[in-house]
Each structure stands twice: as C-alpha cells, then as structure tokens.
A and B are shown apart, each in its own frame.
Chain A
Amino acid sequence: MRVTQGCFSFLPDLSDAQISAQVDYCLAQNWSIGIEYTDDPHPRNTYWEMWGNPMFDLKDAKGVMMELDACRKVNPGTYIRLNAFDNTRGWETVRMSFLVNRPAVEPSIEMVRTDTVGRSQTYSWRTVR
C-alpha cells in the first residue's frame, strides 16, 4: 500500500533534482532541514529516528543532499522524510515535511476490530508486512 504522508505524497516520487529544489526553497525561507527515517509508517508513529541533528546555518541544498545520500546508504528500504523547521516564532515549528525515500515493497495498514464491554467495539490500525 502506498503511504501518503506529508507534502507531495500523492505525486510520483520526487527525483533528486526535485528534492534539491524543494530544499533550496526551504533554505531560502530560513527553515532548517532535519532528516528522519523509520521502517514503520503507521500514522500514529510520529517520532521517527533522527539522522543526526537538524541542519542549521546551511545556505545550499547540497549539504542536505549529502546527508540524505549517507542516510539512504545506511538505511536502504526505509521511509526517509525531510522536515523543514521554521524558527520565526522563537521555537522550531515544522512547516513542511515530505517523503524522499520509500521501500520497494511497502507494508500495508490493516484495521483491527476489538470487542470490549457491552458488545461495543473499538477500532485500531496496525502495520502488516
């Protein structure tokens, strides 16, 4: 199942040149980029693994692309996303987040129905490989 999270996720996967252009846009807005990866795309899995610290004081997308390449090499077949942090309010706010890597075969998300007291039912979702 194709996971759709963040910006551009209904479009075909971005090429490296397109990712680079998006990063340049973010840097032009004075946003800092952080790279995160995970193997579990469950919508409730908010906190992905951080690939190093978010990168502050960059001027050019090349620095981000170098880190992205390194992350892809170490974690092939995982989801990787770029988060753009905006600090104009005095704290870091995620202004933009988009997937830049996904596994060849994506896990699917399945609904689980559970009976609880008085025949009522609760619903939850889980990732199935």
Chain B
Amino acid sequence: MGAQMKDAATTSDAATGTVDLAEEFRQSGVKEILDQLDRELTGLKPVKQRIRETAALLLVERARKQLGLAHGAPTLHMSFTGNPGTGKTTVALKMAGLLHSLGYVRKGHLVSVTRDDLVGQYIGHTAPKTKEVLKRAMGGVLFIDEAYYLYRPDNERDYGQEAIEILLQVMENNRDDIVVIMAGYSDRMDRFFASNPGFRSRIAHHIEFPDYSDDELLHIATTMLAGQGYQLTSSARTAMQEYISYRRPQPHFANARSIRNAIDRARLRQANRLFESASGPLDATALSTINDADIRASRVFRGGLDHERTPRSDQDPIQ
C-alpha cells in the first residue's frame, strides 16, 4: 500500500473518531496534580495559570495525536525565571508529575543539577560529566538551576560552552526522551538567552515567577508551622507580619526560603525559652506554641546582620 493511501485512511478515521476531553482530563490524573498545586502552593497566580494552559495544550495535543491529526513530539523545554525562594524547584517537581501523567515523559523523575554537575575541571572532563547527567535524566525532567552560570562570557576557554553544546544537541534530538527546565533570576536568564540564541529557540515555554506579597508570605509561614505542628499566638502573628515587612528590603531576601529560615530560628528560640524558663511539667500547647518574643528576638528587627546593617543615623533605630 502506498503512503498516500495510508494517509487517506488515517484522515477518514480521524473524521469519524471522537474524543471526550473531560473524560481524558479525569483519567489522566492531571486534575489531581493541578488541584494539589492549588492547595499546596500559596499565591503564584500567573504560574498556576500558565501551568493550567500548558496542561490544556498538552491534553488537546494528545487527543489530536489519537485522531491522527498531530505528528511528532511538541517542544516542551521550559525556562522558569524568578527571584530566589519563589518556588521554581517545587513547581518543576510538579511539572515532572504532570508531564508523566500526560505521557510526555516515560518515567517522570526530576534530576536537579547546577553548573558543578555538568561542567568539568579539565580538558575532556566536561563531555562525560554532562552525558552522565543526561543519561540519568532520560525519561524524565532535567532541572538546571541557575543555568546562566554555564556561560561565562569573560572566559572564552571556559568548559561551560562544551556542556551547552551537548545540551543543545540532546534538547533537539531527544525531544521525546527528556524535558529540560532551566531556572534562574530573570535579568541574568535574559542575558543568558540573548548570548545563546540556540536555547531561546528551543525553549517554548517561558514562565515568570512573581515575588510573594507580604500576606502570602504570612500565609506560607502559618502553613509551614502548621505542617510542623506549631501554632502562632495572635501577637506572634503580628510580629511575623512586621518581621516580613522589615526583612524584605534587607540583603539576601529570598522569599519563602527566608521565611523557612526565620521559622527554624524561631523554633530554636522557643526551645531555648522553654528549656530555661520551664519550672514544671509542660503540656502539648506550650510545646507547640511560638509567642511574639521568639520572633521579635530576631536581628531583623534591629536592621539585619551587624556587618550588613546600613547606617541609619538619620532614622529612628528599629527596636
């Protein structure tokens, strides 16, 4: 039979076949992942919206494939840009699950790497190292954090270029075996893509992660604490709110990660307070309550770390 006749046969099948998208949506398990994303991640509205759109596109693409309308794997490589602590890695993990349940990657695991895992230290070291990582990531998602470090424009003999070339080749030739997600700060990623046009054209989905608002960070703090079995007193809640507004302009602010660290230190102070002040048996409430003194003891209320504190002689010192 000639190829033309075969094509004609598929087209006529396509005309008669139907696809129930709602049913596909239910069966693929995508709904659970999207619901989980909504439940577990605070804020990030534009990100969730983009993921929803991507999921819809992939679902439709899969349905089209079933009816013989689409051929070949779509480009799924993505870039996640945003400030530190905005949930890029967490979303990448969810994305791997999403792509797996839609059948776009075979195994659905996430391999998270940085420059150190890809680039070697001497001639001939880089290619095996990069290939090793790519082999591990086959059938899943390769997440390259701070991808712009791969490219060092100031050193033309930098081995990063070699890793970039291998990556580009695999991103093109093994599109149905691997999905690459590159992540990093927005401005530096833009510069990275500008100097490596090969990446820009091979990445179809650019997703921008916004900073969390103060309210969202407070919500993240309470859910994190609830997850660890702690609660805040109402005055501690106010203290946390103030903490967030003081912490934001200070150096090395990393959104949810800063909040996680603050919570860890508050737990430390709470343990210390209980240890030093307790004079009798403690009940579960005392052990799981964080009060405002635990939070207000933070150096953030005094303007940050001593050596990083900006001189504020003209302002009231924050007590």
Contacts and interface: CB of A to CB of B under 8 A. Distances in A.
Most chain-B Cβ atoms within 10 A of its Cβ — which of A52, A59, A61, A67? A59
Contacts, number: 34
Nearest to A52: B128
Nearest to A59: B107
B177 interface: yes
Contacts of B138: 58-60, 62-63, 66
B261 interface: no
A60 B140 contact: yes
A59 B109 CA distance: 8
B160 interface: no
B312 interface: no
B136 A62 contact: no
B106 interface: yes
Contacts of A55: 135
What range describes how many residues of A lie at the interface? 10 to 19
Contacts of A60: 106-107, 138-140, 177
A115 interface: no
A21 to B, nearest CB: 12
Nearest to B105: A60
B136 A58 contact: yes
Interface residues of B, number: 14
A60 B128 CA distance: 18
Contacts of A66: 131, 135, 138
Contacts of B139: 59-62
B36 interface: no
B174 interface: yes
Nearest to B134: A63
Would you call the interface of chain B mostly helix, strand, loop, or mixed?
A: loop
B109 A62 contact: no
Nearest to A63: B135
Contacts of B109: 59
A63 B174 contact: no
Interface string A70-100: 0000000000000000000000000000000
Interface in B82-110: 106-107, 109
Contacts of B134: 63
A57 B136 contact: yes
A30 B134 CA distance: 19
A55 B177 CA distance: 18
Contacts of B106: 60
B129 to A, nearest CB: 12
B140 A62 contact: no
Contacts of A52: 128
A66 B109 CA distance: 19
A64 B134 CA distance: 11
Contacts of B136: 57-59, 63
Contacts of A57: 136
A14 to B, nearest CB: 20
Contact of B140 (A59, A61, A64, A67): A59
B282 to A, nearest CB: 44
A95 to B, nearest CB: 20
Interface in B148-186: 174, 177-178
Contacts of A63: 134-136, 138
Nearest to B176: A62
Contacts of A59: 107, 109, 136, 138-140
Given A60-B138, A63-B135, 10 more contacts: A55-B135, A59-B107, A59-B109, A59-B138, A59-B140, A60-B177, A62-B135, A62-B138, A62-B177, A62-B178
9 contacts: A57-B136, A58-B136, A59-B138, A59-B139, A62-B135, A62-B177, A63-B136, A66-B131, A67-B135
